Structure formats: structure tokens, C-alpha cells
Amino acid sequence: MNKNHLPLFEVNVGSEAKVSELLSMGLSRRRMLDLGLIPGTIINVIRKSPLGDPVAYNIRGALIALRKEEAKQILVSKIN
Amino acid sequence: MNLTCKTCPKIALNQNFNIKLEDDNELVIALAGNPNVGKSTVFNALTGLNQHTGNWPGKTVSNARGNYNYKDKKFILVDLPGTYSLLANSVEEQVARDFICFGKPDTTIVVTDATCLERNLNIVLQIMELTDKIVLCVNLMDEAKRKGILVDIKKLEEELGIPVVATIARKGKGLNELMNKTYNIAIGIETTSPKQIEYPKIIEDKIDKISEKLQGISKNRLNTRWVALRLLEGDATMLESINKFALDREDAYNEGGTCIYGY
């Protein structure tokens, strides 16, 4: 696995990342794809909820909350 | 059960989806789209008080049905659950998919939000693969304008190959044109040429093989290309639905019974 890639969950609030790979399969994968999470999609980490989970992300113009289990399955590369 | 007479698709609608048609002058229109795009607003604007809600047979998903008259026809409008996709991740998606695929409405109107078209186009493209009797309704045009978003309706029509109508449903704008386009598509005086998605050769080859088998047992009751794609994706609910809605029992057994499952 490329060292520059990390799970989306580990990206800090305020940072930007680019999707490199989806680790989930089956229905979860399908749901991620439906949300627009394809390789190359830029994600902005907007804010974490009080308990740290879920986290709000800006995905293609929509504010989407993803749980830790979901965000762990999305591999990204940091942009800034 | 003999399923060869002309009125039988209508009988199927009645038995499977609880839609009772009174005569051949009634046309069934499905209303699809993402949640929160104004589908209900469009539905209410078109049907006024002529509607009733209930559930889809055997499911807990609610179903609203209403009617309106336009020109010489009566239209039954069926409000499908709001979904981001037709790929059966949830009961809502399965219900929407089953209705469009097996209920075969005379036209499907897909309502979309002008302020986030990209995400909405996911389901539009999926429905375009499923049927060519489709009208795209781009709603919330006032919200888009407020956000500085301009939608090129003509260009959308060209790119997609289907009629596109801009609306502000809550103000009643564009609804006449929507009913007009829907009427034309439903009775067939206007046809569409939805832009087709072509998959890599290895997939297209498999689609052909599976379509052939499907054609054999479903006798034109299915959009075999679309169903083949769903089977290739491993959508198990598709098998149940085919079994429930489209197989001619006699033929399935004659073909050896396991033909579709054994592929």
C-alpha cells in the first residue's frame, strides 16, 4: 500500500484530500459510489461531532456525515 | 397464468403494485428522484386533492397516488420513494426499481434539484438505462438562480437525448410544459433517444450472453440489457423480482427451471 495514502478518517478537520481507493465491497461500496466517492473526488473535512464520530465531509458540494467505520474504508491522499 | 393478452401489463400493475386502472384512456406516470428535490411538491401541484396515500403491497414504504386530467387523457401519478439510486441497497430503492422495471409506467418523470444536478444525475442516468419513456424535470430553478447557478436546459437535452423541463414547482412554474412533455412521451407522439452508456467489451459480451437467456424466458417483458447488468453486479434481489414479476412459470420449467440461476 502506498505510504502517501491514508484512511479518510485520519484526515484532520480543515484539510482537503483526494479519493484514491475504496476498500469496502458489496452494498457499502455501492453506497459510497452513489455518494460520488470515486477515485479522484476531492473531499473537504468540515467538522467532527462532539464525540468524534460521525464526521461531516464536503463531497462534491454536498455535506455528508460518515461514520468512522465508513471513513476508514476510504483511502485518500492528502492535498494540503 | 396466460400472460399474452394486451391488457395483461395492466393486470400486473393491479396485482403487484395495487394500481387499478379503469380503462385504456388512463396512463400511469411514475415520479422518481432523489429525496428533497421537490418531488412531493410536483406531485401535489399536479394532483391537487385527488390523491391518497398507503403502502406498497407487502412493504412498509409509503406510497402516494393521485390523478390529474390533461387534454383527453387521465393520468395516474405514482410517487415513488425518494432514492439516490435504483441499485436496491434498501427497500425504498427496491420498490422504485421494481415499479419502473416491472410495472412499466407509461412515462417516468425524474425530478432533480437544479442546485446539485451532478449528484441527481446518478439516478437519471440509471433510469435512462432502464427505460426510454422518461422526462427530466429540473426543479428548484429559483434556488439555483439565488446561488448563482445557471442551468443550460437545451444543452442538457442535447447531451442526454431526453426532454428536459425547468420548473419551480412551489410556484407552479413549468408544470404545464411538464404535463405536455409527459403526455407526448406517454402516448408516443414524441420519442426519446437516451444517451446509452457503453461498457468495456468484456462486460458487453457477458451482457449479450445473459440477455439472450433472459429474452428466452421472459418473452419481451423485461429490459434484458438492464437486468443482465444488475445480475452481473451480483444483485440478488433482482432474481427475486424477476421471479415474482416477469417469469412465465411454464416456460421457466421447460427451459430446465434453473437456466437463469445456473448461468
Contact B89/A60, CB-based, under 8 Å?
no
Confidence of residue B255 (pLDDT cuts 50, 70, 90): very low
- How far apart (Å, rounded) are the C-alpha atoms in residues B19 and B16? 8
Which comes out higher in pLDDT, residue B5 or B245?
Answer: B245
Give A8→chain B minimum CA distance, Å: 21
Does residue B135 share a domain with residue B90?
yes
Return the pLDDT at B1.
34
Rg (CA), chain B: 18
Does residue B146 share a domain with residue B244?
no
Return the pLDDT at B263.
33
Which comes out higher in pLDDT, residue B107 or B237?
Answer: B107
CATH of the domain at B162: 3.40.50.300
Q: How does pLDDT run across B105-156, given as a tens digit for each residue?
A: 999 999 999 998 988 999 999 999 999 999 999 999 999 999 999 999 999 9
Looking at chain B, which residue has its C-alpha nearest residue A63? B116
pLDDT along chain A (80 residues), means of 10: 81 95 89 90 94 91 90 92
Which H/E stretch holds residue B125?
helix B117-130
Q: Are B34 and B123 in contact (CB under 8 A)?
A: yes
**What topology is assigned to A5-78 in CATH?**
SH3 type barrels. (2.30.30)
Does residue B222 share a domain with residue B173?
no
Contact A34/B89, CB-based, under 8 Å?
yes
Q: Are A53 and A80 in contact (CB under 8 A)?
A: no
Confidence of residue B9 (pLDDT cuts 50, 70, 90): low
Range of the domain at B224: 201-254
Return the pLDDT at B11.
60
Written as one letter, the residue type at A69 is E
Number of structural domains (chain B) is 2
Of B85, B116, B234, which is closest to A34 when you measure between CB atoms?
B85
Question: Would B263 be classed as within a structural domain?
Answer: no
Best mutation site among B34, B87, B112 for testing chain A: the one with the most A CBs within 10 Å?
B87
pTM, two decimals, is 0.83
Contact A30/B119, CB-based, under 8 Å?
no
Does residue B210 share a domain with residue B172?
no
CATH of the domain at B229: 1.10.287.1770
Does residue B147 share a domain with residue B106?
yes
Does residue B12 share a domain with residue B82?
yes
Does residue B133 share a domain with residue B83?
yes
Q: b or e along B215-233 (b: 16 or more beta carbons within 10 Å of the residue's beta carbon)?
A: eebbeebbbbbbbbbbbee
Q: Which residues contact A1 (CB under 8 A, 6 or more apart)?
A: A75
Q: Tell me the chain A residues in contact with residue B116 when contact means C-beta distances shorter than 8 Å.
A: 61-62
